[in-house]
Amino acid sequence: MQCKNHTIVLWISFTYCLAVATSLGIQPAIIGGHEVNIIKHPYLVSIRYHLPADGAYWHKCAGVIITEKAVLTAAQCVREIETDRVMIVAGGNQRRGGVGKVYPATKWIEHPNFSTRTADYDIGLIFVDLPFELNAIHPTLRTINIRGQWPAVNRLATVVGWGYREEFGPSSDNLEETKVPIVSRNQCVSIYGSGEVTARMICAGYVKTGGQDVCQGDTGGPLLYEGQLVGLVSWGYGCARPGYPSVYTDVASLKSWIVEELQKAQS
């Protein structure tokens, strides 16, 4: 796990930074949620990484299908990965096993301004070898659209993934979802500090009560409103803790970069 400013830890990590007892642990999964069928979220994928030690592919992050050959996810999910060890599993309810359609990854891109220290510009793309089998009539897989503006403060957005059900585990084997309210930028900045929450971030969560949230294993997954993509799971302080909303990459603010990279890939 990498520490952000010695206080905040990126959610991709699997352990806390123990050097500082008061460190903020960024731990992505769904807490306080319920099981849901992938058919409801046909754009969602599991990004899995091959570990030579046991030969298995393990769920690393989530992502969403943005075009027939590209997945949008967090930059922290693609940094320094070896593409020949990565596969995308689409259309599967479980975080492991052979259920779902498998697509080998061919290359990845992270935003050039992404920083593991600040978690700013936390967005990346993974390209697959063969096109996703998109079916507009009976969609088991489909792309997702990016919402052009933020939902109003306190509106309930949806988060979905295979992450931890409690802050320190265990993970959910099955896909789960829950709803979290949008938090104003001013409130989020007052909680984390102006140097931590940038213009490329959006916050959501139950600040007063906690109890429902993303957690470890949900990194790169979507924050959704009215069926459109608003954010990608990025970082936070623990999981579902009162007083601390989760922080997501604001996808709309980085749409121009996404479009540019997708155009490059097609040329």
What is the DSSP annotation of 189-211? HHHH-TTTS-TTEEEES-TTT--
Domain assignment present for residue 5? The answer is: no
User: Is 8 within the bounds of a domain?
Assistant: no
**What's the pTM?**
0.88
- Could you tell me how many residues make up the chain? 267
Number of structural domains (the chain) is 2
Separation CA 258–CA 129 (nearest Å):
19
Counting runs of H as helices and runs of E as strands, what totals does the chain give?
3, 15
Which stretches of the chain score pLDDT less than 50? 1-9, 13-29
Phi-psi domain of 12 (left: phi exceeds 0; alpha: psi -120 through 50; beta: other): alpha
Please check whether residue 6 lies inside any domain of the structure. no
Same-domain status, 105 and 137 = yes
Both structure tokens of 265? 């890939």
Q: Is 188 helix (H, G, I), strand (E, B) or coil?
A: helix
Q: Is residue 212 part of a domain?
A: yes
CA distances from 104 to 129, 257, 261 (A): 6, 24, 19
Same domain, 149 and 241: yes
- Model pLDDT, residue 248: 98
Which residue reads 């959704």 in tokens?
224
> Are 50 and 87 spatial neighbours (Cβ–Cβ below 8 Å)?
yes
| End-to-end CA gap in the chain | 36
> Is 35 in contact with 44 (CB distance < 8 Å)?
no
Distance (Å, whole) CA 41 – CA 247: 21
Give the Cα separation of 109 and 123 in Å (integer). Answer: 9
pLDDT tens digits, 184-222: 999 999 999 988 999 999 999 999 999 889 998 899 999
Q: Which domain holds residue 154?
A: 26-35+144-253
Per-residue model confidence (pLDDT) at position 20? 26
Residue 193 sits in the same domain as residue 102: no
Q: Are residues 138 and 87 in the same domain?
A: yes
Contacts of 32 (CB under 8 A, 6+ apart): 178, 211, 212, 213, 240
Record the tokens describing residue 112, joined without a space: 């050039």
CATH number at residue 162: 2.40.10.10
In 120-200, alpha helices (H):
185-192
Residue 173: its pLDDT value, please? Answer: 81
| Same domain flag for 237 and 156 | yes
pLDDT at residue number 50? 86
At 8 the pLDDT is: 45
- Looking at residue 264, its pLDDT comes to 94
